[in-house]
Structure 1
Amino acid sequence: MRKFHRNQPFCRNPLPTRGFLAMKWPAAAVATAFAAALMMSTASAQAVPVPKPAPKPRADVPKQALPSPVIPGPSAATPPTPIIPDLRNLFGGNTPTFDANQKALASKVSAYMSTLQNVSGNFVQVGPDGKRSTGDFYIQKPGKIRFEYDDPSPIALVADGSSVIVRDRRLATQDVYPLSQTPLRYLLSDRIDLMRDTNVVGVASDDMFISVTIEEKQPLVGTSRLMLMIGAKDNQLKQWTVTDPQGYDTTVAVYNLDTTKKLDPGMFRIDYTNYQSNQN
Protein backbone atom coordinates (compact mmCIF):
# COMPACT_ATOMS: atom_id res chain seq x y z
CA MET A 1 0.00 0.00 0.00
CA ARG A 2 1.40 3.43 -0.95
CA LYS A 3 1.72 5.94 1.88
CA PHE A 4 0.63 9.51 1.36
CA HIS A 5 1.64 12.90 2.67
CA ARG A 6 -0.50 14.40 5.38
CA ASN A 7 -0.76 17.79 3.73
CA GLN A 8 -1.05 16.69 0.12
CA PRO A 9 -4.34 15.56 -1.39
CA PHE A 10 -4.77 11.88 -0.64
CA CYS A 11 -1.18 11.49 0.57
CA ARG A 12 0.80 10.26 3.60
CA ASN A 13 4.44 10.62 2.61
CA PRO A 14 5.73 14.05 1.54
CA LEU A 15 5.25 15.26 -2.00
CA PRO A 16 7.05 18.38 -3.15
CA THR A 17 4.16 20.72 -2.23
CA ARG A 18 1.08 20.81 -0.09
CA GLY A 19 -2.10 19.29 -1.43
CA PHE A 20 -5.76 19.88 -1.66
CA LEU A 21 -7.34 17.96 1.21
CA ALA A 22 -4.34 16.74 3.22
CA MET A 23 -5.98 13.41 4.03
CA LYS A 24 -4.05 10.21 4.70
CA TRP A 25 -5.89 8.02 2.25
CA PRO A 26 -6.17 4.25 2.82
CA ALA A 27 -6.94 1.83 0.04
CA ALA A 28 -10.37 1.38 1.61
CA ALA A 29 -13.07 4.05 1.63
CA VAL A 30 -11.70 7.34 2.93
CA ALA A 31 -12.75 8.74 6.27
CA THR A 32 -14.10 12.30 6.30
CA ALA A 33 -15.18 15.20 8.42
CA PHE A 34 -16.59 18.67 7.94
CA ALA A 35 -16.16 22.20 9.47
CA ALA A 36 -14.81 25.64 8.84
CA ALA A 37 -15.36 29.32 8.53
CA LEU A 38 -13.98 32.18 6.56
CA MET A 39 -14.35 35.89 6.20
CA MET A 40 -14.71 37.32 2.71
CA SER A 41 -13.96 41.01 2.31
CA THR A 42 -14.45 43.14 -0.78
CA ALA A 43 -11.92 45.74 -1.74
CA SER A 44 -13.35 49.22 -1.48
CA ALA A 45 -14.30 50.91 -4.74
CA GLN A 46 -11.90 53.45 -6.09
CA ALA A 47 -12.87 57.10 -6.41
CA VAL A 48 -14.02 58.28 -9.81
CA PRO A 49 -11.69 61.00 -11.10
CA VAL A 50 -13.39 64.30 -11.86
CA PRO A 51 -12.25 65.95 -15.12
CA LYS A 52 -10.93 69.50 -14.90
CA PRO A 53 -12.98 72.18 -16.67
CA ALA A 54 -11.82 72.98 -20.18
CA PRO A 55 -9.74 76.14 -20.55
CA LYS A 56 -11.28 79.06 -22.35
CA PRO A 57 -10.60 78.82 -26.09
CA ARG A 58 -8.09 81.12 -27.67
CA ALA A 59 -8.75 82.69 -31.00
CA ASP A 60 -5.41 81.54 -32.45
CA VAL A 61 -5.58 77.93 -31.25
CA PRO A 62 -7.96 75.35 -32.79
CA LYS A 63 -10.35 73.65 -30.39
CA GLN A 64 -9.48 70.11 -29.27
CA ALA A 65 -11.75 67.53 -27.74
CA LEU A 66 -11.07 66.74 -24.09
CA PRO A 67 -10.34 63.10 -23.23
CA SER A 68 -13.11 61.24 -21.45
CA PRO A 69 -12.49 60.49 -17.78
CA VAL A 70 -11.41 56.92 -16.98
CA ILE A 71 -13.77 55.21 -14.56
CA PRO A 72 -12.22 52.15 -12.91
CA GLY A 73 -14.22 48.94 -12.79
CA PRO A 74 -15.23 47.15 -9.58
CA SER A 75 -12.50 45.42 -7.61
CA ALA A 76 -12.47 41.66 -7.17
CA ALA A 77 -12.92 40.18 -3.73
CA THR A 78 -9.75 40.07 -1.67
CA PRO A 79 -8.45 36.63 -0.60
CA PRO A 80 -10.13 35.50 2.62
CA THR A 81 -8.30 34.57 5.78
CA PRO A 82 -9.27 30.95 6.54
CA ILE A 83 -10.50 30.20 10.05
CA ILE A 84 -9.02 27.00 11.40
CA PRO A 85 -11.44 25.01 13.60
CA ASP A 86 -10.35 22.20 15.92
CA LEU A 87 -12.42 19.22 14.82
CA ARG A 88 -10.58 16.79 17.07
CA ASN A 89 -12.24 18.07 20.23
CA LEU A 90 -15.48 19.29 18.69
CA PHE A 91 -17.60 16.28 19.64
CA GLY A 92 -17.92 14.14 22.75
CA GLY A 93 -18.24 10.84 20.93
CA ASN A 94 -21.92 10.29 21.69
CA THR A 95 -24.44 9.69 18.93
CA PRO A 96 -25.76 13.16 18.09
CA THR A 97 -29.42 14.09 17.92
CA PHE A 98 -30.71 16.99 15.86
CA ASP A 99 -33.74 19.18 16.33
CA ALA A 100 -36.03 20.33 13.54
CA ASN A 101 -34.06 23.52 12.98
CA GLN A 102 -30.75 21.67 12.59
CA LYS A 103 -32.32 19.21 10.16
CA ALA A 104 -33.68 22.13 8.16
CA LEU A 105 -30.21 23.71 8.04
CA ALA A 106 -28.67 20.44 6.84
CA SER A 107 -31.35 20.22 4.16
CA LYS A 108 -30.53 23.79 3.10
CA VAL A 109 -26.85 22.92 2.69
CA SER A 110 -27.78 19.73 0.83
CA ALA A 111 -30.01 21.67 -1.57
CA TYR A 112 -27.27 24.23 -2.21
CA MET A 113 -24.60 21.60 -2.84
CA SER A 114 -26.96 19.79 -5.22
CA THR A 115 -27.61 22.94 -7.26
CA LEU A 116 -23.92 23.87 -7.43
CA GLN A 117 -23.32 22.14 -10.75
CA ASN A 118 -20.77 24.37 -12.46
CA VAL A 119 -18.44 26.69 -10.54
CA SER A 120 -14.96 28.18 -10.73
CA GLY A 121 -13.00 30.56 -8.54
CA ASN A 122 -9.93 31.05 -6.39
CA PHE A 123 -8.80 29.34 -3.21
CA VAL A 124 -6.55 29.85 -0.22
CA GLN A 125 -5.27 26.71 1.50
CA VAL A 126 -3.69 26.41 4.93
CA GLY A 127 -1.96 23.12 5.74
CA PRO A 128 -1.25 21.47 9.12
CA ASP A 129 2.07 23.32 9.36
CA GLY A 130 0.40 26.67 8.74
CA LYS A 131 1.83 26.96 5.23
CA ARG A 132 -0.41 29.02 2.96
CA SER A 133 -0.89 28.37 -0.75
CA THR A 134 -3.23 29.78 -3.37
CA GLY A 135 -4.60 28.88 -6.76
CA ASP A 136 -7.62 28.44 -9.02
CA PHE A 137 -10.28 25.73 -8.96
CA TYR A 138 -12.94 24.46 -11.37
CA ILE A 139 -15.86 22.12 -10.63
CA GLN A 140 -18.18 20.47 -13.14
CA LYS A 141 -20.62 17.95 -11.73
CA PRO A 142 -20.89 15.11 -11.54
CA GLY A 143 -17.43 14.05 -10.48
CA LYS A 144 -15.12 16.57 -12.16
CA ILE A 145 -12.74 19.01 -10.49
CA ARG A 146 -9.45 20.72 -11.21
CA PHE A 147 -7.20 22.49 -8.68
CA GLU A 148 -4.22 24.44 -10.01
CA TYR A 149 -1.75 25.78 -7.45
CA ASP A 150 0.04 29.05 -8.06
CA ASP A 151 3.82 29.07 -8.58
CA PRO A 152 6.15 27.90 -7.25
CA SER A 153 4.01 24.82 -6.55
CA PRO A 154 4.15 22.27 -9.40
CA ILE A 155 1.03 20.44 -8.19
CA ALA A 156 -2.32 20.06 -9.94
CA LEU A 157 -5.27 17.92 -8.91
CA VAL A 158 -7.74 16.60 -11.48
CA ALA A 159 -10.81 14.35 -11.17
CA ASP A 160 -12.44 13.12 -14.38
CA GLY A 161 -15.56 11.52 -12.92
CA SER A 162 -14.07 8.16 -11.94
CA SER A 163 -10.43 8.77 -10.96
CA VAL A 164 -8.48 11.48 -9.15
CA ILE A 165 -4.86 12.31 -9.92
CA VAL A 166 -2.34 14.40 -8.01
CA ARG A 167 0.18 15.55 -10.60
CA ASP A 168 3.67 16.91 -10.04
CA ARG A 169 4.70 18.77 -13.17
CA ARG A 170 8.27 19.17 -11.97
CA LEU A 171 8.79 15.42 -11.53
CA ALA A 172 6.42 14.48 -14.39
CA THR A 173 4.63 12.00 -12.10
CA GLN A 174 1.08 11.57 -10.91
CA ASP A 175 -0.67 9.42 -8.29
CA VAL A 176 -4.04 7.95 -9.27
CA TYR A 177 -6.91 7.21 -6.85
CA PRO A 178 -10.52 6.01 -7.25
CA LEU A 179 -12.86 8.97 -6.81
CA SER A 180 -15.19 6.78 -4.74
CA GLN A 181 -12.49 6.43 -2.06
CA THR A 182 -11.97 10.15 -1.47
CA PRO A 183 -14.04 12.89 0.26
CA LEU A 184 -14.34 14.58 -3.13
CA ARG A 185 -17.28 12.27 -3.77
CA TYR A 186 -19.40 14.43 -1.45
CA LEU A 187 -18.34 17.73 -2.98
CA LEU A 188 -18.79 16.42 -6.54
CA SER A 189 -22.02 14.44 -6.13
CA ASP A 190 -24.70 15.43 -8.60
CA ARG A 191 -27.33 15.27 -5.85
CA ILE A 192 -26.75 14.71 -2.13
CA ASP A 193 -28.82 14.49 1.04
CA LEU A 194 -26.30 14.94 3.86
CA MET A 195 -28.55 13.56 6.59
CA ARG A 196 -29.31 10.45 4.56
CA ASP A 197 -26.12 9.87 2.55
CA THR A 198 -23.47 10.71 5.18
CA ASN A 199 -22.84 10.38 8.90
CA VAL A 200 -23.62 13.91 10.09
CA VAL A 201 -22.21 14.61 13.55
CA GLY A 202 -22.65 18.35 13.78
CA VAL A 203 -24.92 21.12 12.47
CA ALA A 204 -24.47 24.72 13.58
CA SER A 205 -25.27 28.25 12.45
CA ASP A 206 -24.77 31.88 13.39
CA ASP A 207 -25.26 35.22 11.65
CA MET A 208 -22.36 34.51 9.29
CA PHE A 209 -22.21 30.79 8.49
CA ILE A 210 -24.02 27.47 8.38
CA SER A 211 -21.77 24.47 8.96
CA VAL A 212 -22.33 20.75 8.62
CA THR A 213 -19.76 18.26 9.88
CA ILE A 214 -19.65 14.67 8.70
CA GLU A 215 -17.55 11.83 10.03
CA GLU A 216 -16.31 8.48 8.79
CA LYS A 217 -14.66 5.78 10.87
CA GLN A 218 -12.37 3.08 9.53
CA PRO A 219 -11.33 0.26 11.91
CA LEU A 220 -7.77 0.04 10.59
CA VAL A 221 -7.26 3.74 9.94
CA GLY A 222 -9.20 5.82 12.45
CA THR A 223 -11.67 8.68 12.34
CA SER A 224 -11.66 11.53 9.89
CA ARG A 225 -13.92 14.57 9.70
CA LEU A 226 -14.87 17.06 7.06
CA MET A 227 -16.58 20.35 7.95
CA LEU A 228 -18.29 22.35 5.21
CA MET A 229 -19.38 25.94 5.67
CA ILE A 230 -21.62 28.14 3.53
CA GLY A 231 -22.61 31.77 4.03
CA ALA A 232 -25.75 32.24 6.10
CA LYS A 233 -26.81 35.25 4.03
CA ASP A 234 -25.62 34.57 0.50
CA ASN A 235 -25.79 30.73 0.65
CA GLN A 236 -22.43 30.41 -1.10
CA LEU A 237 -19.68 27.92 -0.40
CA LYS A 238 -17.04 29.53 1.83
CA GLN A 239 -14.69 26.93 3.24
CA TRP A 240 -14.05 23.33 4.18
CA THR A 241 -11.69 21.78 6.72
CA VAL A 242 -10.50 18.20 6.71
CA THR A 243 -9.05 16.46 9.76
CA ASP A 244 -7.27 13.22 8.96
CA PRO A 245 -7.07 10.20 11.31
CA GLN A 246 -3.79 11.48 12.74
CA GLY A 247 -5.42 14.77 13.71
CA TYR A 248 -3.88 17.01 11.05
CA ASP A 249 -6.11 19.76 9.64
CA THR A 250 -6.14 21.29 6.18
CA THR A 251 -8.47 24.19 5.43
CA VAL A 252 -9.47 25.43 1.98
CA ALA A 253 -11.30 28.77 1.67
CA VAL A 254 -12.83 29.67 -1.70
CA TYR A 255 -13.80 33.05 -3.13
CA ASN A 256 -14.62 34.87 -6.38
CA LEU A 257 -17.09 32.09 -7.19
CA ASP A 258 -18.46 32.13 -10.74
CA THR A 259 -21.36 29.83 -11.65
CA THR A 260 -21.93 31.35 -15.11
CA LYS A 261 -18.59 30.62 -16.77
CA LYS A 262 -18.70 27.76 -19.26
CA LEU A 263 -15.91 25.30 -18.51
CA ASP A 264 -13.99 23.37 -21.15
CA PRO A 265 -14.53 19.61 -20.58
CA GLY A 266 -10.94 19.09 -21.73
CA MET A 267 -9.53 20.57 -18.54
CA PHE A 268 -10.85 17.53 -16.63
CA ARG A 269 -9.20 14.92 -18.86
CA ILE A 270 -6.41 12.92 -17.23
CA ASP A 271 -3.22 12.48 -19.23
CA TYR A 272 -1.92 8.94 -18.69
CA THR A 273 0.72 9.11 -21.42
CA ASN A 274 3.06 11.99 -20.50
CA TYR A 275 3.27 11.25 -16.80
CA GLN A 276 4.47 8.26 -14.80
CA SER A 277 1.37 7.07 -12.95
CA ASN A 278 1.21 5.27 -9.62
CA GLN A 279 -2.06 3.40 -9.16
CA ASN A 280 -3.52 3.27 -5.62
Structure 2
Amino acid sequence: MRPLFLSLLPAAIAAAAPAMAQTASLDQVAAHLRGITTMTADFVQTDRNGKSLSGTLTLRQPGKVRFEYQKGVPLLIVGDGKALTMIDYSVRQVSRWPVGNSPLSVLIDPRRDMSRFAKVVPSTIPGTITVEARDGKHPEFGTITIVFARGAGPGGLALQGWTVLDAQNGRSTVRLTNQRFGVAISDKAFKWDDPRPKGPRN
Protein backbone atom coordinates (compact mmCIF):
# COMPACT_ATOMS: atom_id res chain seq x y z
CA MET A 1 0.00 0.00 0.00
CA ARG A 2 1.31 3.45 -0.89
CA PRO A 3 1.83 5.97 1.88
CA LEU A 4 -1.17 8.24 2.33
CA PHE A 5 0.65 11.36 1.21
CA LEU A 6 1.54 9.67 -2.10
CA SER A 7 -2.10 8.70 -2.62
CA LEU A 8 -3.15 12.30 -2.10
CA LEU A 9 -0.39 13.79 -4.26
CA PRO A 10 -2.10 13.46 -7.69
CA ALA A 11 -5.27 15.06 -6.31
CA ALA A 12 -3.24 17.89 -4.82
CA ILE A 13 -1.47 18.49 -8.15
CA ALA A 14 -4.79 18.48 -10.00
CA ALA A 15 -6.22 21.03 -7.57
CA ALA A 16 -3.16 23.24 -7.76
CA ALA A 17 -2.99 23.31 -11.57
CA PRO A 18 -6.12 25.47 -12.13
CA ALA A 19 -5.01 27.86 -9.39
CA MET A 20 -1.57 28.20 -10.98
CA ALA A 21 -3.15 28.76 -14.40
CA GLN A 22 -5.46 31.41 -12.96
CA THR A 23 -2.55 33.19 -11.27
CA ALA A 24 -0.55 33.12 -14.52
CA SER A 25 -3.51 34.52 -16.48
CA LEU A 26 -4.14 37.26 -13.91
CA ASP A 27 -0.46 38.17 -13.98
CA GLN A 28 -0.65 38.40 -17.78
CA VAL A 29 -3.68 40.71 -17.54
CA ALA A 30 -1.90 42.91 -15.01
CA ALA A 31 1.18 43.03 -17.27
CA HIS A 32 -1.02 44.05 -20.19
CA LEU A 33 -2.69 46.89 -18.29
CA ARG A 34 0.63 48.13 -16.92
CA GLY A 35 2.14 47.89 -20.39
CA ILE A 36 -0.41 50.24 -21.94
CA THR A 37 1.03 53.72 -22.24
CA THR A 38 -1.69 54.98 -24.57
CA MET A 39 -4.61 53.42 -26.41
CA THR A 40 -7.39 54.58 -28.67
CA ALA A 41 -10.40 52.54 -29.81
CA ASP A 42 -13.92 52.77 -31.14
CA PHE A 43 -16.60 51.62 -28.70
CA VAL A 44 -20.23 50.57 -28.68
CA GLN A 45 -22.01 50.84 -25.34
CA THR A 46 -25.22 48.88 -24.82
CA ASP A 47 -27.48 49.40 -21.80
CA ARG A 48 -29.85 46.96 -20.06
CA ASN A 49 -32.67 47.89 -22.46
CA GLY A 50 -30.60 47.09 -25.52
CA LYS A 51 -30.07 50.71 -26.53
CA SER A 52 -26.63 51.28 -28.05
CA LEU A 53 -24.42 54.34 -28.37
CA SER A 54 -21.07 54.51 -30.13
CA GLY A 55 -18.05 56.71 -29.73
CA THR A 56 -14.30 56.84 -29.31
CA LEU A 57 -12.17 55.91 -26.31
CA THR A 58 -8.87 57.60 -25.54
CA LEU A 59 -6.69 56.23 -22.73
CA ARG A 60 -3.35 57.34 -21.32
CA GLN A 61 -1.91 55.72 -18.25
CA PRO A 62 -1.95 56.30 -15.42
CA GLY A 63 -5.59 57.16 -15.07
CA LYS A 64 -6.47 59.47 -17.94
CA VAL A 65 -9.42 58.44 -20.07
CA ARG A 66 -11.98 60.04 -22.37
CA PHE A 67 -15.26 58.59 -23.66
CA GLU A 68 -16.52 60.80 -26.45
CA TYR A 69 -19.92 59.75 -27.74
CA GLN A 70 -21.26 59.89 -31.28
CA LYS A 71 -22.41 63.15 -32.80
CA GLY A 72 -25.73 64.23 -31.36
CA VAL A 73 -25.20 62.60 -27.95
CA PRO A 74 -24.49 65.43 -25.47
CA LEU A 75 -22.49 63.32 -23.02
CA LEU A 76 -18.79 63.23 -22.25
CA ILE A 77 -16.83 61.25 -19.64
CA VAL A 78 -13.28 62.30 -18.76
CA GLY A 79 -10.87 60.90 -16.18
CA ASP A 80 -7.91 62.93 -14.95
CA GLY A 81 -6.24 60.21 -12.89
CA LYS A 82 -8.00 61.05 -9.64
CA ALA A 83 -11.65 61.35 -10.58
CA LEU A 84 -14.11 60.61 -13.36
CA THR A 85 -16.23 63.51 -14.58
CA MET A 86 -19.44 63.09 -16.56
CA ILE A 87 -20.63 66.16 -18.42
CA ASP A 88 -24.22 66.28 -19.68
CA TYR A 89 -24.36 69.26 -22.01
CA SER A 90 -28.12 68.90 -22.56
CA VAL A 91 -28.86 69.97 -18.98
CA ARG A 92 -25.54 71.71 -18.22
CA GLN A 93 -24.78 69.26 -15.44
CA VAL A 94 -21.37 68.05 -14.24
CA SER A 95 -21.01 64.98 -12.00
CA ARG A 96 -17.72 63.89 -10.49
CA TRP A 97 -16.70 60.86 -8.46
CA PRO A 98 -13.38 59.30 -7.35
CA VAL A 99 -11.84 56.78 -9.73
CA GLY A 100 -11.69 54.28 -6.87
CA ASN A 101 -15.49 54.34 -6.60
CA SER A 102 -15.88 53.10 -10.17
CA PRO A 103 -15.42 49.58 -11.56
CA LEU A 104 -13.35 51.23 -14.30
CA SER A 105 -10.58 51.75 -11.75
CA VAL A 106 -9.38 48.26 -12.71
CA LEU A 107 -8.56 49.57 -16.19
CA ILE A 108 -7.28 53.03 -15.41
CA ASP A 109 -5.33 52.37 -12.22
CA PRO A 110 -2.99 49.51 -13.17
CA ARG A 111 -0.86 50.05 -10.06
CA ARG A 112 -3.46 48.23 -7.93
CA ASP A 113 -2.85 44.62 -6.90
CA MET A 114 -5.44 42.77 -9.00
CA SER A 115 -5.17 39.58 -6.98
CA ARG A 116 -6.89 41.36 -4.07
CA PHE A 117 -10.14 42.08 -5.93
CA ALA A 118 -10.14 40.23 -9.27
CA LYS A 119 -10.23 36.65 -10.49
CA VAL A 120 -10.14 34.80 -13.79
CA VAL A 121 -13.50 33.26 -14.71
CA PRO A 122 -14.36 30.72 -17.43
CA SER A 123 -14.61 32.23 -20.89
CA THR A 124 -16.97 31.01 -23.60
CA ILE A 125 -14.93 32.68 -26.34
CA PRO A 126 -11.84 30.75 -27.53
CA GLY A 127 -8.56 32.64 -27.30
CA THR A 128 -9.71 35.03 -24.61
CA ILE A 129 -9.18 35.65 -20.90
CA THR A 130 -12.11 36.88 -18.83
CA VAL A 131 -11.57 38.63 -15.51
CA GLU A 132 -14.21 39.53 -12.94
CA ALA A 133 -13.43 42.30 -10.46
CA ARG A 134 -15.32 43.75 -7.51
CA ASP A 135 -14.53 45.51 -4.25
CA GLY A 136 -15.71 43.16 -1.50
CA LYS A 137 -15.77 46.03 0.99
CA HIS A 138 -17.90 48.19 -1.32
CA PRO A 139 -20.37 46.04 -3.27
CA GLU A 140 -22.25 49.24 -4.13
CA PHE A 141 -19.49 50.05 -6.62
CA GLY A 142 -20.66 47.14 -8.78
CA THR A 143 -18.91 44.33 -10.62
CA ILE A 144 -16.95 44.56 -13.85
CA THR A 145 -16.24 41.62 -16.16
CA ILE A 146 -13.43 42.33 -18.63
CA VAL A 147 -12.53 40.37 -21.75
CA PHE A 148 -9.01 40.26 -23.21
CA ALA A 149 -8.04 38.57 -26.49
CA ARG A 150 -4.73 36.81 -26.81
CA GLY A 151 -2.62 38.30 -29.57
CA ALA A 152 -0.98 41.57 -30.48
CA GLY A 153 -0.78 44.10 -27.68
CA PRO A 154 1.14 44.74 -24.45
CA GLY A 155 1.69 41.49 -22.57
CA GLY A 156 0.36 39.50 -25.52
CA LEU A 157 -3.23 40.65 -24.91
CA ALA A 158 -5.67 43.20 -26.30
CA LEU A 159 -8.55 44.67 -24.33
CA GLN A 160 -11.83 43.72 -26.04
CA GLY A 161 -14.41 45.26 -23.74
CA TRP A 162 -16.25 44.90 -20.46
CA THR A 163 -19.63 44.53 -18.78
CA VAL A 164 -20.55 46.47 -15.64
CA LEU A 165 -23.28 45.25 -13.29
CA ASP A 166 -24.27 47.83 -10.70
CA ALA A 167 -25.81 47.30 -7.29
CA GLN A 168 -29.31 47.70 -8.78
CA ASN A 169 -28.61 44.96 -11.36
CA GLY A 170 -28.31 47.54 -14.13
CA ARG A 171 -26.12 46.11 -16.85
CA SER A 172 -24.00 48.05 -19.35
CA THR A 173 -21.69 46.48 -21.92
CA VAL A 174 -18.86 48.12 -23.86
CA ARG A 175 -17.29 46.49 -26.91
CA LEU A 176 -14.06 47.82 -28.43
CA THR A 177 -12.78 47.71 -32.01
CA ASN A 178 -9.86 49.28 -33.88
CA GLN A 179 -7.61 49.25 -30.80
CA ARG A 180 -4.36 51.13 -31.31
CA PHE A 181 -1.57 51.09 -28.75
CA GLY A 182 1.28 53.54 -28.21
CA VAL A 183 -0.24 56.40 -30.19
CA ALA A 184 0.59 60.04 -29.47
CA ILE A 185 -2.13 61.67 -27.35
CA SER A 186 -2.19 65.34 -26.43
CA ASP A 187 -3.10 66.69 -22.98
CA LYS A 188 -5.97 68.50 -24.71
CA ALA A 189 -7.75 65.15 -25.08
CA PHE A 190 -8.50 65.19 -21.36
CA LYS A 191 -9.84 68.73 -21.15
CA TRP A 192 -13.51 69.64 -21.43
CA ASP A 193 -15.73 72.70 -21.69
CA ASP A 194 -17.71 73.44 -18.55
CA PRO A 195 -21.37 74.01 -19.52
CA ARG A 196 -22.43 75.38 -16.13
CA PRO A 197 -23.41 79.06 -15.96
CA LYS A 198 -20.58 81.31 -14.94
CA GLY A 199 -20.96 83.01 -11.58
CA PRO A 200 -20.54 86.75 -10.98
CA ARG A 201 -16.99 87.98 -11.43
CA ASN A 202 -15.22 89.77 -8.60
Q: Percent identity?
A: 24
**Paired letter, 1:135:** G
Tell me the equivalent position of 1:242: 164
Provide the rounded CA distance (Å) in 1 between the counterparts of 2:130 and 2:101: 23
Provide the rounded CA distance (Å) in 1 between the counterparts of 2:31 and 2:45: 25
Tell me the equivalent position of 2:85: 165
Assess, with a 3 A threshold, how the Cα gap between structure 1 residues 217 and 120 changes in structure 2: closer, same or farther.
same
Q: Which has the larger radius of gyration?
A: 1
Tell me the equivalent position of 1:265: 187
List gaps (5 residues or longer) in structure 2. 1-16
Assess, with a 3 A threshold, how the Cα gap between structure 1 residues 200 and 179 changes in structure 2: closer, same or farther.
closer
- Equivalent residue in structure 2 for 1:194, among 114, 117, 127: 114
Q: Secondary structure at the match of 2:135?
A: strand
Assess, with a 3 A threshold, how the Cα gap between structure 1 residues 222 and 266 changes in structure 2: closer, same or farther.
closer
1:116 aligns with 2:36: yes
Q: Secondary structure at the match of 1:236?
A: strand
Q: Secondary structure at the match of 1:239?
A: strand
**Paired letter, 2:148:** I
- Map of 1:48-197 to 2, 5 A cutoff? 99-195=19-115
**Structure ranking higher on relative contact order (CA contacts 8 Å, 6+ apart):** 1
Q: TM-score, normalised by structure 2?
A: 0.78
**Paired letter, 1:210:** I
Provide the rounded CA distance (Å) in 2 between the counterparts of 1:128 and 1:115: 32
Provide the rounded CA distance (Å) in 2 between the counterparts of 1:251 and 1:116: 22
- Map of 1:22-61 to 2, 5 A cutoff? none
Assess, with a 3 A threshold, how the Cα gap between structure 1 residues 204 and 175 changes in structure 2: closer, same or farther.
same
Deviation at 1:178, TM superposition (A): 1.9
Choose between structure 1 and 2: higher helix proportion. 2
Provide the rounded CA distance (Å) in 2 between the counterparts of 1:199 and 1:211: 14
**Paired letter, 2:142:** S
Tell me the equivalent position of 1:275: 196
**Paired letter, 1:241:** T
Structure 1 moving runs of 4+ over 6 Å: none
Provide the rounded CA distance (Å) in 1 between the counterparts of 2:141 and 2:103: 13
Provide the rounded CA distance (Å) in 2 between the counterparts of 1:150 and 1:265: 21
**RMSD of aligned Cα (Å):** 2.4
Assess, with a 3 A threshold, how the Cα gap between structure 1 residues 153 and 213 changes in structure 2: closer, same or farther.
same
Provide the rounded CA distance (Å) in 2 between the counterparts of 1:98 and 1:242: 26
Provide the rounded CA distance (Å) in 1 between the counterparts of 2:172 and 2:128: 19
Deviation at 1:201, TM superposition (A): 4.3
Contact 2:26 2:119 in 1 (8 A): no
Deviation at 1:222, TM superposition (A): 4.7
Assess, with a 3 A threshold, how the Cα gap between structure 1 residues 98 and 109 changes in structure 2: closer, same or farther.
same
**Paired letter, 2:170:** Y
Q: TM-score, normalised by structure 1?
A: 0.57
Q: Secondary structure at the match of 1:247?
A: coil
